Chains A and B, each alone.
Chain A
Amino acid sequence: MSRNREQDVAGAILPKITRSSVNGWPVAAVFLVLALVLYGCSPTGKSPARASADSTVVIALLGDANYLNPVIGASVTSSNVYGLIYPGLLQSEFDEESGLLNFLAAEQSLMPRDEESVGTRELPSAVAKRWKMSEDNRSLTYILRDDVTWNDGVPLTASDYRFTYRLYAHPVIASPRQQYLAELVGAQQGAIDFERAIEVPDDTTLVFRFHKPVSERLALFHTSLAPLPKHVWEGVAPEEFRQSPLNQNPLGAGPYRLQEWKKQQSLLLSSNPGCRLPKPGTIPNILFRIVPDYTVRLAQLQTGAVDVVENIKPEDFAGLEEASADVEIKASGLRVYDYIGWSNIDQAAYHRDGTIRPHPLFGSAAVRRALTFAIDRQSIIDGYLGNYGVICNTDISPSLRWAYHEGLEPYPYDPERAAGILAREGWLPGPDGILRKDGRPFSFVLFTNAGNARRNFASVIIQQNLREIGIDCRLEVQESNVFFENLRLRKLDAWMAGWSIGLEIDPLDGWGSDLEKSRFNFTGYRNPRIDELCNLAKEKLEAQDARPYWIEYQEILHRDQPTTFLYWIKETQGFNRRIQGEEVNILSTFYNIDDWTLDPARTVAQ
């Protein structure tokens, strides 16, 4: 039974009360009286609130957006919202077939679009009409549409882009997207030379120049950051940039505009009638509601109070089905994986004087392989993720098909083989059953962060698995801030965490041999061939040409097991069935939200 949108808010209560038995519970009686009073208060006749429910899609969010500004907006929530408000230079698409990003301008696309993947989206939402990469891959010229205006009627021109790129680069503004500017002329010396790096010959021509040859895909990716309206932001000093009220009341040109923002409660967007990118949003209103508690989000999805809830846990699918809620679960690609990190190096020695020597427990690749053999990854998947988990071999996702190594055999669960390898490495059972080598027991603490049910589930199985081959693993949960700081400072010997991968493969930060530079190489793994391969791959101007390097890369990681890769997680989103035309995508749940429609027939009583 889903909440009835046909009747007005309080009116919906009455028939249900008379139907249910009150059982003499005094509290219920109080409710009854209250409900009747409320019923009397509510306006009769056809309610405008109902009409508004029919034209509004409600999306539940865990937390609020912060800055509605593409330069400084940092959270995914913020970018989901400002992405609908600000005009994109290009539209990016994920090509399922190859696993590569495709970029579209109004009249051009990087890769041909096959009819099926186009879906409902015929016209791309892009300010650029077309682009031209120079022969030497050192400059990129865009031709912009001349008919796009900001919501105040001022035309959107190439100068807006150049103006905004200066803001992206400004150190006081501290944009989290500075990395996108790393190829522009002058960036190699530390300061971008904007006179040469970005040129605007006329209002519809925009030229980017790079200090080295850049692949066309990367160039398009890095030059298509969203612009701010120059005429509005010009007067804002960099020191004041983050405090500007314009961040809370943005002037955009996209398919939606901000209607009302009640901080920490809700954020209402309404379709922007003047939008030509390519058209105003189809659903008149999008309401983001902040509902911090997961159980409540789930309950509201069931009752129809909200239409979209992200990251539904697999354990709740059955419940949703049983309640015969009008909800559809959709899964997107594999972007997130969990792993157990083993410190490859002796962290204490490294912190003391920078010497690098193998970790007494996890220093040997053979031991790490044995640990992977010992852990029953399939059981964790079967027990928690079901069809929404896939065994993970390395950090290159199976969704990135152009680079993924199909031929790697996952290590099976084989405790005997694990014990055999450990025995050869000198780890033999002691009197208490715990493995020992040179008197040192194989005993350690596995750390993880608080509040992740999936990791809690996995860690218990892992502890049990290791126990069976004589390894003593204690579990410790730390508050997230503390955990990540310890991880960053390389203070932990063994831990369980996860990564969400970028769609461009650039893993040197996580595995590079220079431990000072590779900030995310928490394990201290060092293999010069990995550095080489990453750099070779980066030099290729066509992504597919780098495939051989990535294949070798995956083979090495699989062999060395710097961490035990556990499983990829399919993120699952719940949609009310009254939403039509939604396409869930590895890029985002809301990838084509401006094309969604609401089916009023489904909102009427079922």
Chain B
Amino acid sequence: MLIYILRRLLVAIPLVFGVLTLTFFIIRLAPGDPAAFYIQPGISPNVAEQIREQYGLNDPVYIQYFKWLASILQGDFGRSFSRAQQPVLEVIASALPITVTIAVLTLIANFLLGIAIGVISAVKQNSVLDRVMTVGALFFYSMPEFWFALMMIILFALKLQWFPASGLNEVGAEFLGPIGFLADRIWHLVLPVTVLSINGAAGIARYVRGSMLEVIRQDYIRTARAKGLAEKTVVLKHALRNALLPVITLVGGSLPFIFSGALFIEVIFAFPGMGRVTVDAIFARDYPLIIANTFISGTLIILGNLVADVLYAVVDPRIKL
């Protein structure tokens, strides 16, 4: 298995590299100019030219590419155009913790909620409870995230005023002491994490329900019941473990989400996470930042798939890598 992992990782290197090269050329082909902001009345026409010179955009594209290649190979992703020349890795380093916090909380809530709902609706198949849950899950699953988020804000932040509408902390939260600060932070995270996990859990619940229904009809479940095992043991130990196999692929697939951020939620709740970094970079034609973001998400998608495959082998002894 170790050799398998190593081989996959080795194959990943040229793959990521190819993705970056493609991105490098595609963003330069897109209309728009990183210096466009400086083309406006009242600003000397020289300024845009000087800015382009500073960014090295006056060289022919292939020279730009080789220069970029040389610095990438030294691990230097360059400095951001749009964020005051901050090194792009710094920009990403400051956005990642926020995104990861939200995403990890969301994923945990997602899977706990999703699995619980899925198991209950499978065990009580076709009961009223199952129907309600199925319809409810579909209802939330098909709701656009940004709309759901705005509705939650209107209800809980504007009308009821239980939770803040945006930001990571309240004004003056620094004075609350460490526990107060943490409480304030959690208080700010409730709405966004709820929106994200309700949406995601609904999908997972459908998955778990389907896979659970299949497993529950298997012979070994009947055998387990015939042995006189408690229903709880049958469902949670014998059935659930097997039913979770396909769900594991979902865990791997969620990895890029953890790092790439949830754009709408970040914009609406004003969290400076990866989603916003990426989209701002694209609108500002911030080439170095776009490439660095592509690098992160590309690597994670590849790693996520690898993790899913490996997990599969770990959980299911029938699969050999």
- A interface residues (Cβ-Cβ under 8 A, vs B): 1, 3, 9-10, 12-13, 16-17, 20, 27, 30-31, 34-35, 38, 41-43, 47-53, 56, 58, 63, 66-67, 74, 171-172, 174-179, 182, 242-243, 247-248, 262-266, 287, 289-293, 295-296, 299-300, 302-303, 305, 323, 480-482, 484-486, 488, 502, 506, 509-510, 519-520
Contact = CB atoms under 8 A, between A and B. Distances in A.
Leading 10 A-B pairs by shortest Cβ distance = A52-B172, A264-B272, A481-B32, A174-B50, A48-B175, A41-B183, A49-B172, A66-B84, A178-B44, A291-B270
B39 interface: yes
Given A58-B171, A66-B84, A174 B51 contact: yes
A310 to B, nearest CB: 15
B156 A31 contact: yes
Given A27-B198, A176-B38, A242-B84, A289 B270 contact: yes
Contact of A31 (B84, B161, B162, B175): B162
B41 A303 contact: no
Interface stretch (B14-22, B184-192, B215-223): B184-192
A488 B160 CA distance: 48
A431 to B, nearest CB: 39
B61 interface: no
A292 B160 CA distance: 23
Contact of A43 (B39, B158, B180, B272): B180
A255 B63 CA distance: 48
A9 B37 CA distance: 40
A69 to B, nearest CB: 9
Contacts of A34: 186, 190
B190 A296 contact: no
A35 B162 CA distance: 8
A486 B177 CA distance: 54
27 contacts: A1-B161, A17-B162, A34-B186, A34-B190, A47-B175, A49-B180, A66-B82, A66-B84, A174-B38, A178-B46, A182-B44, A248-B84, A263-B272, A264-B95, A265-B167, A291-B270, A292-B276, A293-B270, A295-B150, A295-B268, A296-B269, A300-B165, A302-B158, A305-B165, A482-B32, A485-B31, A486-B31
B31 A264 contact: no
Given A48-B172, A178-B47, A299-B165, A263 B94 contact: yes
A9 B47 contact: no
Contact of B267 (A20, A51, A292, A481): A292
B60 interface: no
B50 A47 contact: no
A43 B177 contact: yes
B33 A41 contact: no
Contacts of A74: 37-38
Interface string B136-173: 00000000000000100110111011111111101111
A16 B157 contact: no
Contacts of B268: 293, 295-296
Nearest to A297: B166
Nearest to A61: B270
Contacts of A485: 31-33, 36
Given A49-B172, A299-B153, 11 more contacts: A52-B175, A56-B172, A66-B82, A247-B84, A264-B94, A264-B272, A295-B268, A300-B157, A303-B158, A481-B36, A485-B33
A12 B150 CA distance: 22
B10 interface: no
B43 interface: yes
B85 interface: yes
A480 B267 CA distance: 19
Nearest to A174: B50
B108 interface: no
Contacts, number: 184
A3 B156 contact: no
Given A174-B47, A502-B42, A299 B160 contact: no
B270 A290 contact: yes
B74 interface: no
Given A174-B54, A242-B84, A49 B170 contact: yes
B54 A42 contact: no
Interface residues on B, range: 35 or more
A481 B176 contact: no
B194 interface: yes
Contacts of B172: 48-53, 56
A38 B186 contact: yes
Contacts of A1: 161
Contacts of A179: 42-44
Nearest to A63: B280
Nearest to A517: B45
A395 to B, nearest CB: 11
B187 A38 contact: yes
Contacts of A262: 272
Contact of A67 (B51, B84, B180): B84
Given A9-B187, A35-B162, A49-B170, A41 B44 contact: no
B216 to A, nearest CB: 25
Contacts of B82: 66
A536 to B, nearest CB: 20
A293 B269 CA distance: 8
Given A296-B269, A480-B283, A481-B36, A10 B153 contact: no
B206 interface: no
B2 interface: no
B272 A290 contact: yes
A171 B47 CA distance: 8
A263 B167 CA distance: 12
Contacts of B194: 27, 30
B209 interface: no
Given A293-B268, A296-B270, A481-B36, A510 B41 contact: yes
Contacts of B171: 49, 52-53, 56, 58, 287
B225 interface: no
Contacts of A67: 84
A563 to B, nearest CB: 15
Nearest to B194: A27
A48 B171 CA distance: 11
Contacts of B43: 176-179
B41 A502 contact: yes
Contact of A42 (B84, B176, B276): B176
Given A296-B270, A300-B166, A488-B39, A42 B183 contact: yes
B183 A3 contact: no
A172 B162 contact: no
B162 A16 contact: yes
A287 B150 CA distance: 24
A66 B85 CA distance: 9
Contacts of A292: 267, 270, 276
Contacts of B168: 265
A328 to B, nearest CB: 19
B165 A47 contact: no
A250 to B, nearest CB: 12
Nearest to A291: B270
A481 B177 contact: no
A579 B169 CA distance: 22
Given A179-B44, A290-B270, A38 B183 contact: yes
Contact of A264 (B33, B163, B276): B276
B226 interface: no
B83 interface: yes
Contacts of A10: 183-184, 187
Contact of A243 (B79, B164, B190, B269): B79
A176 B283 contact: no
Nearest to A68: B84
Contacts of A27: 194, 198
B179 interface: yes
